[in-house]
Amino acid sequence: MSEGALKETAAPYRTGEARSEFAPLIDELYREEVLAARRMAPEEKLILGERLFRWACAITLEGIKLQHPEASEADCQRMLRERVELGRKLEAR
C-alpha cells in the first residue's frame, strides 16, 4: 500500500459488532472525520484536545454531582481531581 493510500485509509473504529443498514453511512462519516483530523495543523489539534478535556471534565463533574447529591461543590471538584489523577496513573502503567 502506498503512503498516499495509507493516508486515505481510516483505522476501523469498531470490531466484532453486528453491522446495521446504516453501517456504510457511519463508516463514511467516520472516515471523513479521521481524514479531516489528519489535515489539521498541530495547533488546531492541541486546542481541540483542550476543549475535549474540559468537556469531559464538565460531564464527569455532573455525574459526580448526581452520584453524590449531598456533596459540596468543593467536594465534587476534589473527586473530579482524584478521578483525573487516577486516570493518569492508569495510563502510565
What is the block-wise mean pLDDT of the chain (93 residues), using blocks of 10 residues?
60 67 93 95 96 98 98 98 97 94
pLDDT value of residue 20: 87
pLDDT value of residue 3: 58
pLDDT digits (tens, 9 = 90+) for 17-34: 667 889 999 999 999 999
Cα(1)–Cα(61) distance, integer angstroms: 45
pTM for the model: 0.64
Task: Give pairs for 39-44: CB < 8 Å, separation 24+.
Answer: none
Which grid cell is 1? 500500500
Nearest to 82 by CA among 1, 68, 26, 16: 68
